[in-house]
Amino acid sequence: MSLVKTEGIVLKSFEYGDSSLIFSLYTRDFGKVKVLAKGIKRGKSKTAPLGFLSLAEVVFYKRERTELHLLSSAETLKSFSGLSKSLNRFSWASAVSELLDQLIKGEESNLRIFNLSLKTLSRMELTDESNLEKLFWSFALKLSAHLGYKPKLDSCLNCGAEIKDQEVFFSPERGGVICKKCAKEDEYFLKLRHSGSPGKTVQAFA
């Protein structure tokens, strides 16, 4: 077990027992990790609760045989407080967090994804709300590319039909779109509006 320090974006937190919290972080040096903050709910920890989507400097004991590590200390570097000032802004930023949490598997660092995530949250905090959807889809497509998927937007990944519907479903993990007929409720898709032309759809979110 080694003591390490890095920066991480808080993707989510959940209770562990009566007094502790587990934070899911996307970190600069270790990819997605989970850290246990013992006693944090009772004020017995050196660490103040970390805010959702905040950027923090974290120090934790990295365990070799488990995915749950032990948080030693943390300091918030940037809270992105502007994201919570409107429901619309918060919702699109939360979608960024959800996408990272769903698609990133295991503890593998990717500096391009980390920087892309920070840049997207920073821009979402400051931009006009009319730009939020475009920023999110730009993030989703770039994330897919960084994970090795080449997004295919002109035809359905399942049946091969040309995409003409106004409502289609984008699968970041599979790197393309699914038509409404083929979309399954038990799979992870993101709904988007199709512009009527694949080229225009790509330009809108690139």
* φ, ψ of residue 42 in degrees (nearest 5): -105, 10
pLDDT of 203:
37
Contacts by 118-121, CB closer than 8 A, 24 or more apart: 118/9, 118/55, 120/96, 121/9, 121/53, 121/80, 121/83, 121/93, 121/96
φ/ψ of 31, rounded to 5, equals 70, -145
Rounded-to-integer distance, Cα 174 and Cα 147, Å: 10
First to last CA, the chain: 42
Using DSSP's 3-state secondary structure scheme, residue 156 falls into: strand
Residues whose CB is less than 8 angstroms from the CB of residue 203 and which lie 6 or more positions away in sequence, other chains included: none
For residue 176, list its beta bridge partners.
Answer: 152, 171
Neighbouring C-alpha atoms within 13 Å toward the C-beta of 106: 4
- pLDDT value of position 198: 39
* DSSP of 30-65: TEEEEEEETTGGGT-SSSPPPPTT-EEEEEEEE-SS
- pLDDT of 200 > 60? The answer is no
106 vs 34 pLDDT, higher one: 34
Q: Name which residue leads in pLDDT, 68 or 195.
A: 68
Q: CA 49, CA 53: separation in Å to the nearest integer?
A: 12
pLDDT confidence tier of residue 201, bands split at 50, 70 and 90: very low
pLDDT over threshold 60, residue 113:
yes
Mean pLDDT of 42-71: 86
pLDDT at 194 over 80: no
- The model's pLDDT over 134-181, given as tens digits with 9 standing for 90+, comes to 899 889 888 988 888 766 677 888 888 887 755 677 776 676 788 878
- Domain 1-140: assigned CATH number: 2.40.50.140
C-alpha distance from residue 48 to each of 36, 62, 69, 155 (Å): 13, 20, 17, 48
Radius of gyration, CA atoms only, the chain: 19
pLDDT more than 90, % of the chain: 50
pTM of the full structure: 0.76
pLDDT at 39: 85
Q: Assess whether pLDDT exceeds 70 at residue 185.
A: no
Percent of the chain with pLDDT over 70: 82
Sheet holding 152-156, edge to edge: 152-156, 176-178, 167-171, 190-193
- Cβ(170)–Cβ(100) below 8 Å: no
**pLDDT for the residue numbered 138:** 87
Strand residue runs (E) in the chain: 2-16, 20-27, 31-37, 55-62, 68-78, 152-156, 167-171, 176-178, 190-193
The pLDDT tens digits of the residues spanning 117-137 come to: 999 999 999 999 999 988 998
Query: What contacts 85, CB < 8 A, 6 or more positions away?
Result: none
The structural domains of the chain, with segments of one domain joined by +, span 1-140, 152-205
